[in-house]
A and B are shown apart, each in its own frame.
Chain A
Amino acid sequence: MIQLFMRDIGLAVRSGGGFGLALIFFLIVVVLIPFALGPDQSALALVAPGVLWLGALLACLLSLDRIFGLDYEDGSLDLLASSPLPLESVYIAKAAAHWLTTGLPLALAAPLLGVLLNLSFDAGMALCFSLLLGTPALSLIGAFGATLTLGIKRGGLLLSLLVLPLYVPTLIFGAQAVRSASLGQPFDVPLVLILAISLGAVAILPFASGAALRINLR
């Protein structure tokens, strides 16, 4: 399992693996926001929490179909399925690798991008924490969506359609935490709830994804 995890990270970091693309995408989204809304500082500060969360969420979507897609095409997923490792663990290892190469960098970079949108320091910290706690849920839910659309040719659009409604609760709590922080209010409740979603996803989704993988490899 750990080997699989390391292998996925290695593949993602190597050139052409798409590592960093999500970060650049996130940066571009944030740069485009002032063009769309106008350069007014106070208006930007008002929308910054939501925009930053939304940007991170969309950046997370980009690499989802890679999680299982390439392994499914070249047959290594069949090999993994016939190995003693249960498919639930394969899912966990791959979702964890996705989080480490996408979610974690996004969470760390988000406060810096917050500076561009006139986000206060406290709100930036809240953004970093909420993304740290929330991106595991995004990776897990996304990887689950990827197992569902595995056998579908050009399933990328469908994947987004399936996964985005599932992202609603995470987004609500995440953006709420940052918004509360930017208004100087306590934001521990949304942070705890977002952690609850991540933990709940770890508890439930491996079984659903394992089942979906088995159905697809039948």
Chain B
Amino acid sequence: MNSTSTSKRLWDAFWQLANPKVFMGWSGRWLPWLVGLTILFLGSGLIWGFFFTPDDTRQGSTVKIIYLHVPAALMAINGYLLMFVGSLVWLIRRQHVSVLAAKAAAPVGMTMTLIALATGAIWGQPMWGTYWVWDPRLTSFLILFLFYAGYIALWAAIEDDDTAADLTSVLALVGSVFALLSRYAVLFWSQGLHQGTTVNLADGAKQENISNVFFQPLFLSMAGFGLLFVTLLLIGTRTELRRRRLKVLQARERMQ
């Protein structure tokens, strides 16, 4: 009995954090710390990774692009996930902060997708002999980029804020289903075309058989990218909230 009331209180307190006023309070207090931590983790991870790790025997120094590529790819997917959750929460609970967070996540996630694609292409040229292969992973990321583009374009096209929030949320939900479907459809499609050697190479470079020498700075860099994502997300959400307040104030001024 007691535990249920405690969990209910925690539940309410959690949603209280999404109250715009409360949100502005805590996010404003946390933001400087987050910026500092981001610089610390990202800086140390990248500097360690770029200058204090040995070259790979096969890949030479090109292996070091992993410290940008993998964390960016991770954040690109997390960004879409956050967009999905934010849209769902908006449609169910009508929490303005959640849909504005989804809106703020889209450009950040899109940029991360672009970083992952670009660094992958730069690494691919010396390693695979080509900038671009129609490999399942690469293709899914390109499609992810298109989904981000559509979502952002729909936000930009609709004038009324609440209508835009509702329609983009519907798009994000349906889009997520189709993005997932595309992911598996692409696997199916590419099996019919390629022999999967390049895929194995990509998997080999990215997964378990990675030595700690490379993994430790990579981990720092991943944490740094995560912090960077959260920081940009909070800044974006705060900007959106302020823009809305400004709109209300301007409307009120015109009334007088």
Binding site for B on A (CB under 8 A): 141, 144, 148-149, 151-152, 155, 158, 161-162, 164-166, 168-169, 172-173, 176, 179-180, 190, 193, 197, 204-205, 208, 211-212, 215-216, 218
Contact = CB atoms under 8 A, between A and B. Distances in A.
Nearest to A218: B163
A152 B157 contact: yes
B167 A215 contact: yes
Given A149-B157, A155-B157, A161-B150, A193 B188 contact: yes
B149 A161 contact: yes
Interface of B: 143, 146-147, 149-150, 153-154, 157-158, 163, 166-167, 170-171, 173-175, 177-178, 181-182, 185-186, 188-189, 192
Q: Is the interface of B mostly helix, strand, loop or mixed?
A: helix
B163 to A, nearest CB: 6
A167 B71 CA distance: 29
Contacts of A180: 192
Contacts, number: 77
A215 B192 contact: no
B157 A168 contact: no
Given A169-B182, A215-B170, A162 B154 contact: yes
Contacts of A176: 188-189, 192
Contacts of A168: 143, 178, 182, 185-186
Contacts of B157: 149, 152, 155, 158
B178 A165 contact: yes
A162 B167 CA distance: 12
B163 A215 contact: yes
A137 B163 CA distance: 26
Given A173-B185, A208-B170, A165 B154 contact: no
A172 B167 contact: no
Contacts of A161: 149-150, 153
B5 to A, nearest CB: 35
A197 B188 contact: no
Contacts of A205: 174
Most chain A beta-carbon neighbours within 10 Å: one of B143, B157, B163, B182:
B157
A46 B101 CA distance: 47
